[in-house]
Amino acid sequence: MSKSKWRLLNTGCNPGAYNMAVDEKLLHQVITGDSLPIIRFYSWAPAAISLGYFQKPEEVLDLAGCRDRNIDVVKRITGGRAVLHHYEVTYSIIASENETLVSGSIIQSYLKISKALLRGLRSLSIPAELVPHGGKKKGLTTACFDAPSWYELTISGKKLAGSAQTRKQGALLQHGSILLDLDINELADTMKFSGPQAKDRFKRMMADRACAINQIMPRQFTVQEVTKALTNGFIDEWQINAVPDKLTKKENRLIAGRMNKAKGKAVFS
């Protein structure tokens, strides 16, 4: 039996607007049948806050604080809550909804993707676990990492990865963040609070509910190490032929057009 063929993309470290434009346009390519299914890895510079599709920046964020700290603000085409992207590995899975490896309900596809991520992390002896049924803790804030969702990755009950998914015209996009480090003060400085006490409560809660690989493990892992391990996790768990690839000329044109459309906006959306 031949292995399913996937494109493996590593688009490197880029601003938030570029990262979101790439996800959007690769989803378009899969919808139109112009691309094989995709596994993509990337990171962020400068740091950025991404908001869920239904979140309103002015209600969630201290936008002046973000500007002062040179933190980009972007909106995702997926739902969910605010994520600070800084010290992390970010992944995207883009495929037809009929692709067996990600097919089924949103929860079923979350599980299939999370199993591959888990396999990659455990190959580095990172003691991650899958949380079924969304865990026992409910999210109490507008930040993503205050509670695990369905089949997300945790270490000792603390959330390690945050993911979000959308489906459009028969295709699926799921992207997520695997934290290498977490600066709770930096995150809190970007969020909007009713006062200092609320901000302090948020920081205590995040310390109790979120974690990062390099704050738990006895040695420091690099983006490259974790990316390689996660890549192998998908290859081994899914038994696929992941072919290293680059963005095509057409894809680069589509991405540039999307970025031009949003040029001048305070928030990429």
Distance (Å, whole) CA 142 – CA 63: 15
Which stretches within 91-163 are classed as H helix?
106-122
Query: Do 71 and 190 touch, CB atoms closer than 8 A?
Result: yes
| CB-based contacts of 239, cutoff 8 Å, min separation 6 | 3, 4
Q: Is 144 a catalytic residue?
A: yes
User: Which member of 13, 66, 144, 211 is catalytic?
Assistant: 144
Distance (Å, whole) CA 246 – CA 2: 23
Q: Is 65 left (phi over 0), alpha (psi -120 to 50) or beta?
A: alpha
Residues marked active site are found at 144
